[in-house]
Amino acid sequence: MAAVGVAPLLPAVLPAVAEAAPSERPAFPLARDGAAVDVFVDAADDPAVIRAAGDLQADVERVTGVRPRLLRALPERAALLVVVGTLGASPVVDRLVADRRLDVSGVKGRWEASVTQAVDRPLPGVDRALVIAGSDRRGTIYGVYDTSERIGVSPWYWWADVPVEHRDTVTVPAGPLKRYEPSIRYRGIFINDEQNLTTWSHRTQEPDKNIGPETYRRVFELLLRLKANYLWPAMHPYSDFFNKHRENPELADEYGIVVGSSHPEALLRNGVHEWDPWAAEHRGPDGSLPVYDYTVNPTVISDYWRARARQNAAYESSWTLGMRGLHDSALETKYATTIPEKVVVMNDIIADQRRILTDEVGAAAEPQIFIPYKEVLELYNAGVRVPEDVTLIWPDDNHGNMRQLPNEAERDRPGGNGIYYHLSYWGRPRSYLWLDTTQIAKVWQELRRVYEHGVDRMWIFNVGDVKSIETGLSFAMDVAWDVDRWSADDVEDFLAEWYGRQFGRRHGREIAEIRTEYYRLAAERRPEFIDRQMFSVVHHGDEAGRRLAAHDRLLVRTRALGATLPEAYRDAFYELVEYPVHGAYLMNLKYYWADRNALAVRQGRGAGTNRFADLAEAAHAEEVAITKRYNSEVAGGKWDGIVNPYPSQIPKAPGRPAVTRIARSETSGLGVAAEGNETGTDRPLSFSSFTRDRRFVDVFNTGFLALDWTAEASHPWVRLSTAGGSLTEQTRVWVEVDWARVPEGTHSATVTVGGAGQRVEVPLRVVDDGERARRRTRGFIEAHGYVSIDAVHTERRVARGGARWRTVRGLGRRTGAVEAVPSTAAPVTGDFASRAPELRYRVRFASAGSFAVTVFRLPSLDERGLRRVAVALDDQPATVLSGQAIATGNRGDAWARNVEEGVEKLTATVTVGEPGEHVLRLFMVDAAIAVDQIVVDTGGLPVTYLAPPESYHPVFNPDPGYAPGVDAPVR
């Protein structure tokens, strides 16, 4: 481990831990000289605290190999002692507070807060003690796990096989070290769409169950180590419902976990499993089965809810009010067909449920929550009356975009507000269950926004199968505890810190850079959303191939780093870093070759067509192989069944792309396709002295027998990567211009390819504005029929009216995006040049006319408002662009397209009166709008999935040409 460079985890790397000024007092030794310090916890303390103290005992043994004793009674004599206790429940801790020996300022009376402090002569016969004291039972538990993390036990030691460094001597700072109360009161997860987790649990944990207490025991421990406190359990047909095994709620209480239920599971009832047996036992007088419709069977349904409330009344629970259909389906109301009628029914349902909770649970029936999810949001906005002490849980659109946020009246409610947010999702328009692919900067942006709108009572994250979401879940819990810890400038630093904790600090930054690029590529298109012909294989230097080259470089970098780690770290590295990078690469790779295969058919290629088919199928086979390795080899087969890119019920999942093979023919023939053309060479290759591009020409065989070919340029300043040879399949010729030799001006040139008795001319258009112009220019330069701008590359930013634009690093398809903040700022609907925050970009146009300007904004929603931005050129009137504000939940519409692509393209027209320098201006209309890229089409810009490469800029992009090593795969 020393070779990895991991030091004991110090408080500075733990979230929301306040430290006193550096102390000269010696650190407290938990173990030394082959002996471990005893751990004392009062027998009268909460059982959850006693259990957690046992985990500290086990963690010290994990580090040192020596297991401390766990004491329930104070020793008569001890040089050193660890004291674990809760204020008000531990007489020892209370005595230290009363004697002013333990500093509990900022801790006592707070929610889940703690202090860890070394105290000299705390008790008769004890020379020195490390006291871990919490304001309540979970505060104490978190203090215990903070200590575990400080000595080198990762929260992911079991769930991600992160090794524990062995050390003979283990010390922790003397303190006082304080964990103040969290930003969010309830912080937890929803295990959902858990087919893989169920498969794994049944195979490896409990063969007689489908997610039972042994699995939940591991889940509860993980949650507490992550400083979470809340769970919606697995609920689908392939899993056992939570209350089927009575040990489950008992264990949750023993661990200190609050158990609730999701939006279709009112009052902890799992309708998927429990309604049919209940209905069978409560048939109508005629023997008919009651349906789950409150307008038809209110009494049977009410009794159904009441039975669970009575059964779970003794546990710390969260009670979901309202109603939806069974198994995440819409509310059924046979005798209420209009929205107003359904509102009345929902009000009756809530009133009934409140009576049940008062009768069966009493004052302990809190928190109570109401989740306006999908159709229920429409009913809520139409007038459903939710009692003031009930927490409103606002949902996102299942793709990380909050649908709406509380207004002023809702923020003032005593019950407060929460969110239900997806890091994993099954459903429309596409599912993402396989890998953790949501940029943490995107998560931060939305969480920061909801917090600024007063949403601080409850945050629930859908994490799918738990595995693969390790990084995103850790980040979400970190922000939930201390929402101010990360800012727009340093949100990516979380990755360096977190991966440094898992693999050693000297590797943290490198892995963070790998993960940031992995997230960026997923922001262009999630690997689970890949489909045929998404990315162009003919435009912009082979858009798809350049993206694949980025994936390939990332995988090479990942493997090189992994090879430097000690063997003990290989499993964790594979799970947390290598498999996601490799899997995403292969998912993209097989579709790239399948698209090249389809294009080859259209181009009339011969042997190359089959070559591309082979490559596509080989990539799919490799993807299957690495998944098999994860399931059967990593950690000795511990994770058998946990990873599957294609669960049987997942809708719209990419699979094995179909390919076409052609029959062998004993012929040969010359084929040529130039960049920008699917077939042939009609569209000239475009070159500019500003961008200094490389362009490709594909030379291919239309048959299967080898042919000789040549390529010749018409001018000496046109350079070719190869001038000919023999080919059976195909080759890619790169064309460049020697700008030191080309005369200034606009030139036409050709590359002539010959072979098999044929000659094909490829036209070139070369524009040389001269080196002087390149040196003296300011701003972005039009070339190739467009201007492409990364939105963060501003000439100037102007704050107005208390609002401004800021850069969020790691957000969007490039290095970052600009966001209009604060998110609570009022809309600006006119006089933009004097009232609205502004972004300015200097642009030099080579032509005049009316041009389309497309603003690439990152999706965000407001179902009670609008999502607008305005664009103008120079002092011309601004055009307001309105984005999609409502989540429809459909496939194929604007909302679906936006969440699939990760951007919304809003287009206006600007008029350039004459060539030369101009200022492109972007204004905030609605707050929390984030902009990624801006593209001006000055004529002939091809339609592609991604924005074209950024234009030349002397500061931001002085060398935009296609450099060697970043181009498409050559086969």
pLDDT at 415: 97
- Nearest residue to 920 (alpha-carbon basis) of 953, 958, 957, 959: 953
Q: Tens digit of pLDDT for each residue in 675-694?
A: 999 999 999 999 999 999 99
> What is the enclosing helix (H) or strand (E) of 630?
helix 607-632
Q: Is the pLDDT of residue 649 over 80?
A: no
Which one is predicted more confidently, 932 or 961? 932
pTM for the model: 0.95
The percentage of residues in the chain with a pLDDT greater than 70, rounded to a whole number, is 96
As a whole number of angstroms, the distance between CA 344 and CA 336 comes to 9
The string of DSSP codes covering 864-925 is TS-EEEEEEETTSPPEEEEE--S----SSSHHHHHHHHS-EEEEEEEEE-SSEEEEEEEEES
pLDDT at 648: 74
Q: Is the pLDDT of residue 5 over 50?
A: no
Burial letters 150-165, b for 16+ CB under 10 A, else e: bbbbbbbbebbbbbbb
pLDDT at 737: 97
Strand stretches in 690-830, DSSP E = 695-701, 707-713, 718-720, 724-727, 730-737, 745-755, 758-768, 780-781, 786-790, 796-798, 804-809, 816-821
List the single range of 16-25, 277-286, 341-350 with lowest mean pLDDT.
16-25
Q: What is the mean pLDDT of the chain?
A: 95
pLDDT band (50, 70, 90) for residue 963: very low
pLDDT at 327: 87
List the single range of 23-32, 297-306, 592-601 with lowest mean pLDDT.
23-32
Per-residue tokens: 165: 């460094």
pLDDT at 19: 47
- Nearest residue to 728 (alpha-carbon basis) of 808, 665, 779, 807: 665
As a whole number of angstroms, the distance between CA 478 and CA 482 comes to 6
Per-residue tokens: 648: 């049987």
Q: Tens digit of pLDDT for each residue in 503-541?
A: 999 999 999 999 999 999 999 999 999 999 999 999 999
**Helix, strand, or coil (residue 551):** helix
Q: What are phi and psi of 250, to 5 degrees?
A: -65, -45
pLDDT at 466: 97
Residue bearing tokens 């036992």: 281
Instruction: Count other Cβ atoms within 10 Å, centred on residue 136.
Output: 21
pLDDT at 20: 45
Q: Is the pLDDT of residue 965 over 70?
A: no
Are 598 and 533 spatial neighbours (Cβ–Cβ below 8 Å)?
Answer: yes
For residues 917-928, give the mean pLDDT.
Answer: 98
Residue bearing tokens 């296609």: 962
For residues 427-433, give the mean pLDDT.
Answer: 93
Q: Is the pLDDT of residue 92 over 50?
A: yes
pLDDT band (50, 70, 90) for residue 651: low
Are 883 and 871 spatial neighbours (Cβ–Cβ below 8 Å)?
Answer: no
Residue bearing tokens 């430097």: 564
How buried is 651 (Cβ within 10 angstroms: 0-12 exposed, 13-18 middle, 19+ buried)? Answer: exposed
Find the largest Cα–Cα distance for the chain: 103
Q: Tens digit of pLDDT for each residue in 445-477?
A: 999 999 999 999 999 999 999 999 999 999 999
Are 822 and 488 spatial neighbours (Cβ–Cβ below 8 Å)?
Answer: no
The string of DSSP codes covering 91-142 is HHHHHHHHTT-S--TTTTTSSS-EEEEEEEEEETTEEEEEEEEESSHHHHHH
Q: Is the pLDDT of residue 653 over 80?
A: no
For residues 907-917, give the mean pLDDT.
Answer: 97
Per-residue tokens: 763: 């036209």
> What is the enclosing helix (H) or strand (E) of 853?
strand 849-858
Residue bearing tokens 């990624």: 932
pLDDT at 646: 87
Q: Pinpoint the alpha helices (H) of 205-261.
A: 213-225, 247-255
Q: Pinpoint the alpha helices (H) of 425-538.
A: 440-452, 470-481, 493-503, 505-524
325 bridge partner residues: none
Q: Pinpoint the alpha helices (H) of 640-753.
A: none
The string of DSSP codes covering 772-789 is HHHHH--SEE-BTTEEEE
Which residues are within 8 A (CB) of 548 and not within 5 positions of it... i.e. 6 or more apart? Answer: 585, 588, 589, 592, 968, 969
Which residues are within 8 A (CB) of 79 and not within 5 positions of it... i.e. 6 or more apart? Answer: 126, 127, 128
Instruction: Count other Cβ atoms within 10 Å, centred on residue 733.
Output: 21
As a whole number of angstroms, the distance between CA 825 and CA 465 comes to 38
pLDDT at 179: 97
Per-residue tokens: 405: 């946020």
pLDDT band (50, 70, 90) for residue 969: low
Are 246 and 234 spatial neighbours (Cβ–Cβ below 8 Å)?
Answer: no
Q: Is the pLDDT of residue 9 over 60?
A: no
Q: Is the pLDDT of residue 655 over 90?
A: no
For residues 614-643, give the mean pLDDT.
Answer: 97
Q: Side-chain half-sphere of 223: how many Cα atoms within 13 Å?
A: 29
- Nearest residue to 846 (alpha-carbon basis) of 925, 929, 773: 773
Q: Tens digit of pLDDT for each residue in 534-574?
A: 999 999 999 999 999 999 999 999 999 999 999 999 999 99
Q: Is the pLDDT of residue 970 over 70?
A: no
Which one is predicted more confidently, 775 or 710? 710
Q: Tens digit of pLDDT for each residue in 484-500?
A: 999 999 999 999 999 99
Residue bearing tokens 């923020």: 411
pLDDT band (50, 70, 90) for residue 652: low
Per-residue tokens: 654: 């990419």
pLDDT at 710: 98
Q: Tens digit of pLDDT for each residue in 20-61?
A: 445 568 999 999 999 999 999 999 999 999 999 999 999 999
Are 465 and 194 spatial neighbours (Cβ–Cβ below 8 Å)?
Answer: yes
Are 727 and 699 spatial neighbours (Cβ–Cβ below 8 Å)?
Answer: yes
Q: How far is CA 255 from the centre of its chain?
A: 28
As a whole number of angstroms, the distance between CA 659 and CA 612 comes to 8
The percentage of residues in the chain with a pLDDT greater than 90, rounded to a whole number, is 94
